[in-house]
Amino acid sequence: MAHTEPASEATLLVTCPDKRGIVAALAQVLHGHGGNILDADQHTDVGAGQFFQRIRVDLSELHTDRRSLEGAIGEVAERFDMTWRVARPQVRKRVAIFVSRVDHCLWDLLLRHRSGELACDLVAVISNHAELEEVAQQFDVPYHVYPVTADTKRSQEVKERELLEGLGVDLIVLARYMQVLTSEFVEAFPNRIINIHHSFLPAFMGGRPYHQAFERGVKLIGATAHYATADLDEGPILEQDVVRTSHRDSVRDLLRKGRDLERTVLARAVRWHLEDRVIAYANKTVVFA
């Protein structure tokens, strides 16, 4: 595969009703304008009759300009009733992390970002408690505290939204943020809030899932990263993983094993979103991983 500089690359994501000719039409448009397809992946949901594709293309030798190319893609999209967008890896997404007092996912994300594994700009850590401010300071990420009570939840969310909008945040990561967001907040960021839930959904929704798992005597526990929606723990799932347990494990053992899963599952989901590998539909996702 030819190497290209990121500035010359773009990723095209498309969704439309499945029919013949979609792949050929997109390839023809890209080729006709001088684009070079670096890789392409596609999926058809036969039951739903929906087609999905992710195309990564080198635009360094375009015969026209990008506006003309996108206009041509738009013409194809109109023919196929297609939803589409072009993402450019050189335009880094701006990310805010929400936390409470539990720190393992925050540490993991900050370390992965510092190592270059997560290509984004971390612009804020937001919390309902002050305890983790020193963690954020070690990575030079601004830390904002918005204490939340039943009486102040909505007013604090208004302030948080104002901050997020002022910072131009593209993605919110709930790194064990132990608050239920209001539907108004979630709906303001559709498919742009990733939550980590400490169980293998749809099992053990809600609070204290490891305690629920212990009481049930399960032999596997899991973690689930999903987009947050107005329905608690029911949003489109991006990634899941599991680890074996036994009758010898205490709740403390489950918590320890679960924390390892939470870190890796959340990091993979965030990375796939940042790399424009996810298409959400019908409360599900297609992940071109």
Catalytic residues: 233
User: Does residue 43 contact residue 49 with C-beta atoms inside 8 Å?
Assistant: no
Residue 110 token pair: 């900050």
The owner of tokens 């635009």 is 59
* Those residues with Cβ within 8 angstroms of residue 193's Cβ, 6 or more apart along the chain or in another chain: 171, 172, 173, 174, 181, 186, 227, 228
**Rounded distance between C-alpha atoms, residue 110 and residue 281, angstroms:** 30
User: Does residue 156 contact residue 147 with C-beta atoms inside 8 Å?
Assistant: yes
Q: Give alpha helix (H) positions in 117-200.
A: 133-138, 153-167, 183-187
Residue 106 token pair: 């925050």
Beta strand pairing call for 83-87 and 9-17: antiparallel
Identify the burial level of 126 via C-beta atoms within 10 angstroms of its C-beta, where 0-12 means exposed, 13-18 middle and 19 or more buried.
buried
Identify the burial level of 139 via C-beta atoms within 10 angstroms of its C-beta, where 0-12 means exposed, 13-18 middle and 19 or more buried.
middle
How many C-beta atoms lie closer than 10 Å to residue 289's C-beta? 13
What is the torsion angle, in degrees rounded to the nearest 10, for the CA atoms of residue 118, residue 124, residue 128 and residue 131?
80
